[in-house]
Structure 1
Amino acid sequence: MNTNSNDYNVLRISLASLGLIWFSFLWSICRKRYRLRPRSPLATASPSSVPGVSILRPLKGLDTNLYENLESTFTQEYPNFEILLCVADEDDQALPVVRDLLSKYPHVAAKILVGEEVVGVNPKVNNLMGGYRSASNDILWILDSNVVADPGTLARAVDALQTPTKSGKRVALVHHVPFAFSTESRAGSRIDEAFLNTNHAKMYLAINTVAIDSCVVGKSNIYRRSDLERVNGSLKPIKSTDPNAKQEGLCGLPAFGKFLAEDNMIASALWHELGLRHDLSCDVARNVVGNMSLHDYIQRRVRWIRVRKHIVMAATLAEPFTESIVLVVIGSSSLKYLVGLPRWLCILVHFFLLLVVDLDVYTSLAAHPLPHSIKREFWAGWAAREVLALPIFLWALFGNTVEWRGRRYQILNNGEPENIKHWIPSAEPVLTPGRIYT
């Protein structure tokens, strides 16, 4: 009986210690600082001495802040780039904005590409195909239409693309951590802003700092077309030792039109099929959040959790153990058992420190403190995000259908979507100014 009792105590102590170690690890994860963004020497180099870059911007409708978003591409401090502005429909509402910018910056090599090539269910990939095929440079910068880029972003990204990792492996893709700012005081907008600028940013930076696998969001990605032309999304390593060997069958951007999360799949393909690596530059992808309702926010989170669980199931199942409420249950239980610390005290300290850390992350990414004008709304959005995280995750976990751009899809085991043709939405989605479409 005593032996069993001792074994039970050892087990409890071991579990409590393990819980405390996990709790402490998540508090001490590395957060890359973004306050210093030095100017790259490439910004003032001669055009012939730097690699050319083709900037592809997929457009659909009037995104919030669209003029300023697109103008930030025209004002990049880099001597050798072209801009390819891609729209699927000749009546698209974005075209007048684009034409104004072309008139304002006649010295910039920029052109409009109208029409799409349907290579799969992903409308973004279909839209980009014209730009992808006509790009005159090997380096491609895929930049979403709701992103603003600082003037030095491209030069610093090309620097990172040409610098090998510490392990000596070549960098195949440079990406930027999303940083959201909302122009609307709506519940969904503020919650999404708080989520992207705190919890999402912490985990995104931590995963990419550890760098044991690919983790990329496609708001702002730079990679080489010559690399992309060798992979097909199978995630199976190329066995040939030939440095130019490629996968069999369809490769390049058309091969990724069958995925909803084409950004994640492209990054994973470069990582696993070619054995190359990614890097984060010191810039952020300033993601303009428009008029998003609470329902919009929840549906968006559900959609990407359901897609992600079919691509990286293990990482998706581990996600709740990084959330504050589950984490404080683990930490407070461990501390109460090991040192007798009251749970209520642990909870208070936990959320106080969490808020301090999250505000520090916000300040690092934004390069300025949280504006006083939005503090109350931001804190409310932050609290709502923490409370909603676990219920949204559980809802998303037990389902495989998603709604995207007015259509419903069944997500298959390989992460590909299957269109549910018999489902008819209540109304066709209408593109309106100030509304977010993702």
Structure 2
Amino acid sequence: MNPAVILTWAAALYWLAAMALLVISVVGTILQPRIAARRAARRDQPPVSIVLPVKLLEDGFERTQESAFAQLYPAFDVTVSSTEGESPAVRKMREIFARHPERPARVLLSTARFAASPKVDNLYAPFMQAAHDVILMKDANVMLEPEALAEHIRQLTAEVGLVCAIPYCAKLDNFPAHVEAAIINGPHARMLFLASCLGQGHGVGKIMLFRRSDFLRAGGFDAISHTVGEDNALAKAIRRIGKRPVFSHWPVRQELGARAFADVYHRQVRWSVIRRNDELLSFLLEPICQAFPAVMAGGLAAPLIGAPPAAGVVATFLAWFALETLLSMAKGWQLSLAAPAVFIVREAMMLAVWVNAWMTDRVVWARDKVHARVAAPPAPPAQEEG
């Protein structure tokens, strides 16, 4: 058979698979809150230790961190962990403490230095010294609605060992922030929402809710210290003890503010390298979730229906863009008049990130370069003081 004909039919099959996945994932994103809510069977509300690792004082820090203190939940305390005894972020947290004297709160100095990820080092002291068995870890740039803790805890049933929330981006103050939101609210979110609809859970570290007893039984810090993808490593460790990671029916709002293109790119490379190291099949299949390869396939396959290649390119571009835009409108996610330009830049960046992720193991974390995976030494003894 003529190689050109084979290429045309291969492009057509790829186009059909990519467009079908797009449609199915859009539907899954809309249905996931209702489907996941049916699995939220827990009714008691055990005491919870909320852990807030801090490093940089970024835009919106005070608002997002104070949201942890506003939970409509009967019993919880707050522990802030920092690698610095005094910093702008720690001082701001002490100001927040003073506004909430009714809530038990403290700052722990994290002195551990054993993990590939500085974040894991920062989590050692608060995880080991938490007052309660149930721990909720929250990143500094995510906002918790007052009902969030109560809703997430409903997912932590006897057979569940880890609850994560799917992030969506908000407060987009410049063009790079819109590009990052288009990545996170677009292919990333769609695949996570679809996985949740199918009963699958994965580690997404914007928030993580778990029992310390399960964490320790799954290997504790020795199970997550080898990688900067500690969230995914924790999900795998939880599976090994016969419990499931799940996505909550309650998403989490990630506030971006103003971003720099370089920061967006480095963050996406870090996550992509983590997926290459820890979830190779998922990494290999990533291009099918992106519009650019489907647009090219649409142009190659168009002659099969008697259309010029340009028509296939334009039709695929418009269909993909329209479906994602309608999904954002249905979910109430922030959009911009520059959305077509955002879409094009996003696709170019995602392709560049995917190619770059094949060629490096050094990634940027909080402005520091680290290796994505190392042979980490054993974690310190459990009684280390923070």
TM-score between the two structures when normalised by the length of structure 1: 0.75
The separation in 2 between residues aligned to 1:35 and 1:105, in whole angstroms, is: 35
2:48–2:135 Cα contact (<8 Å) kept: yes
1:179 aligns with 2:160: no
User: Residues 97, 35 of structure 1: CA spacing in aligned structure 2 closer, same or farther, 3 A cutoff?
Assistant: farther
The separation in 1 between residues aligned to 2:123 and 2:50, in whole angstroms, is: 11
1:188-337 matched pairs, under 5 angstroms: 188-211=176-199, 215-231=202-218, 251-271=219-239, 273-337=240-304
Aligned to 2:150: 155
- Structure 1: which amino acid aligns with 2:177? S
CA deviation vs aligned residue, 1:100-154 (integer Å, no higher than 9, x gap): 2222111122222233322323221111222111212221111001111111111
Structure 2: runs of 5 or more not aligned = 377-386
Aligned to 1:421: none
Aligned to 2:66: 71
1:16–1:335 Cα contact (<8 Å) kept: no
- Structure 1: which amino acid aligns with 2:211? R
SS of equivalent to 1:107: coil
SS of equivalent to 1:160: coil
1:356 aligns with 2:343: no
User: Residues 260, 9 of structure 1: CA spacing in aligned structure 2 closer, same or farther, 3 A cutoff?
Assistant: closer
User: Residues 328, 93 of structure 1: CA spacing in aligned structure 2 closer, same or farther, 3 A cutoff?
Assistant: same
1:144–1:220 Cα contact (<8 Å) kept: yes
User: Residues 211, 361 of structure 1: CA spacing in aligned structure 2 closer, same or farther, 3 A cutoff?
Assistant: same
Aligned to 2:18: 23
1:34–1:283 Cα contact (<8 Å) kept: no
The separation in 1 between residues aligned to 2:172 and 2:291, in whole angstroms, is: 27
Displacement, 1:332?
Answer: 4.3
The separation in 1 between residues aligned to 2:229 and 2:359, in whole angstroms, is: 19
1:58–1:143 Cα contact (<8 Å) kept: yes
**Which has the larger Rg?**
1
1:87–1:115 Cα contact (<8 Å) kept: yes
CA deviation vs aligned residue, 1:302-338 (integer Å, no higher than 9, x gap): 222223212122221211122101112234434532x
- Structure 2: which amino acid aligns with 1:33? I
Query: 1 or 2 for the larger relative contact order (CA 8 Å, sep ≥6)?
Result: 2
1:344 aligns with 2:310: yes
1:129 aligns with 2:119: no
- Aligned mate of 2:29, from 20, 32, 44: 32
1:95 aligns with 2:62: no
Structure 1: runs of 5 or more not aligned = 165-169, 232-250, 419-438
The separation in 1 between residues aligned to 2:366 and 2:18, in whole angstroms, is: 39
- Structure 2: which amino acid aligns with 1:354? W
Count of residues paired in the alignment: 369
Aligned to 1:383: 344
Aligned to 2:381: none
1:119–1:254 Cα contact (<8 Å) kept: no
2:22–2:289 Cα contact (<8 Å) kept: no
The separation in 1 between residues aligned to 2:59 and 2:341, in whole angstroms, is: 23
TM-score between the two structures when normalised by the length of structure 2: 0.85
User: Residues 321, 209 of structure 1: CA spacing in aligned structure 2 closer, same or farther, 3 A cutoff?
Assistant: same
- Aligned mate of 1:120, from 104, 107, 115: 115
- Structure 1: which amino acid aligns with 2:214? D
